[in-house]
């Protein structure tokens, strides 16, 4: 991933469109705003772009992106960044959108926790599920970033290690699949004997060298500065097994909330922002797109978010310039 033009803390910006959320929908919104000739900034609480894709499954193959039979999460984000790059979006990463006000002429002013102030003609909120926090592995907290992690942004960091993955959902099994070829060993520990992960992925893990321990919990994590071993308690027979482990990956799910967005006057139902067919939120010049939105018949797919992002930007563009066409023409009509 190329270095992005990230604005320093305390920056004051004036743009046409501020995109709040740098996941796939947000990055496509940045491209589309640029395509329409609009100045754009992208703000995200995470320190790198990509949202959940970058944080949770950068190495996972995504199979439902139009035109890509299979594309890894990291590659998808890189391509979206490349697509937006010719239009020079400004990135404010590691910044949480907090306050919102309006100027006398109707523009939107968003303040961040680090003191940035962005004045925009319109805002497009593409915040996914909001701010998400991993559920902790209580017995391993002393080893956070010293063997214990909650995400796997780089498979090579675990090469040659004995790895213990804790959890029974899609992330746990996906990481087991992708780490098994590079690890010395992989053991998956789950507190029940039923899994939430997709059946095909579970079958793939069962057919691999990954050891699966069910009805089991991690009861101790030990090491001298870095994790070296864990104790696994087996509930049915009340025995304990000690496993070598230089990496423990806790895939226990996460909690999510919309944070300060709940104070913006948006209509929020079941932790989602209700929008109309133009992606308007009901707050002046504030639109939304992607997984964070809700309306009758909503389908939460990245592909749907792309379409919603284009809809939001096009409608915002006509609000900024009532004489503009809502449809700017096809990209193929532009001269190369």
5 band by pLDDT with thresholds 50, 70 and 90:
low
332 is in an annotated binding site: yes
Average pLDDT over residues 1-15: 72
91 is in an annotated binding site: no
Q: Which CATH fold topology does 12-132+255-333 show?
A: FAD/NAD(P)-binding domain (3.50.50)
pLDDT tens for 83-138 read 999 999 999 998 899 999 999 999 999 999 889 999 999 999 998 876 667 889 99
Tokens describing residue 280: 């308007």
Q: What was the pLDDT predicted at 121?
A: 98
Does 1 have pLDDT greater than 70? Answer: no
How many C-beta atoms surround the C-beta of residue 40 within 10 A? Answer: 25
Average pLDDT over residues 10-28: 94
Separation of CA 211 from chain center: 29
Asked if 205 and 176 count as a contact pair (C-beta separation under 8 A), the reply is: yes
Q: What was the pLDDT predicted at 335?
A: 57
Q: What was the pLDDT predicted at 75?
A: 93
Domains 12-132+255-333 and 136-252 share a fold: yes
What is the residue extent of each domain of the chain? 12-132+255-333, 136-252
64 is in an annotated binding site: no
Contacts of 216 (CB under 8 A, 6+ apart): 189, 190, 191, 232, 233, 234, 235
Class of 136-252 per CATH?
alpha beta
pLDDT tens for 203-260 read 999 999 999 999 999 999 999 999 999 999 999 999 999 999 999 999 998 777 788 9
246 is in an annotated binding site: no
103 is in an annotated binding site: no
Range with the lowest mean pLDDT among 133-147, 185-199, 233-247, 262-276? 133-147
């Amino acid at each position: 991933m190329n270095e992005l033009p990230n604005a320093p803390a305390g920056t004051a910006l004036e743009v046409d469109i501020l995109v709040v959320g740098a996941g796939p929908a947000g990055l496509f919104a940045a491209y589309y705003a640029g395509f329409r000739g609009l100045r754009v900034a992208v703000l995200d609480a995470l320190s790198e772009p990509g949202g959940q894709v970058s944080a949770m499954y950068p190495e996972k193959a995504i199979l439902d992106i139009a035109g890509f039979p299979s594309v890894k999460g990291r590659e998808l984000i890189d391509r979206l960044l490349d697509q937006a790059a010719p239009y020079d979006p400004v990135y404010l990463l590691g910044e949480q959108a907090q306050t919102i006000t309006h100027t006398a002429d109707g523009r939107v002013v968003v303040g961040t926790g680090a003191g940035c102030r962005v004045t925009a003609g319109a805002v497009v909120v593409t915040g996914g599920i909001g701010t998400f926090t991993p559920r902790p592995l209580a017995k391993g907290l002393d080893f956070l970033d010293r063997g214990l992690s909650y995400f796997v942004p780089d498979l090579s960091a675990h090469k040659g290690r004995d790895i213990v993955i804790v959890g029974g959902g899609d992330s746990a099994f996906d990481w087991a699949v992708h780490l098994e070829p590079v690890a010395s060993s992989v053991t998956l520990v789950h507190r029940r004997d039923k899994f939430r992960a997709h059946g095909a992925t579970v079958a793939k893990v069962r057919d691999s060298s990954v050891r699966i321990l069910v009805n089991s919990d991690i009861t101790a994590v030990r090491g001298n500065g870095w994790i070296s071993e864990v104790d696994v308690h087996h509930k049915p027979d009340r025995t304990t097994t000690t496993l070598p482990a230089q990496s423990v990956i806790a895939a226990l799910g996460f909690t999510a909330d919309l944070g300060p967005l709940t104070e913006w006057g948006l209509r929020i139902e079941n932790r989602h922002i209700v929008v109309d067919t133009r992606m308007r939120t009901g707050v002046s010049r504030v639109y939304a797109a992607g997984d964070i939105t809700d309306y009758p018949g909503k389908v939460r797919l990245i592909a749907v978010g792309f379409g919603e992002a284009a809809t939001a930007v096009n409608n915002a563009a006509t609000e900024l310039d009532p004489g503009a066409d809502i449809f700017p023409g096809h990209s193929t009509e532009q001269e190369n």
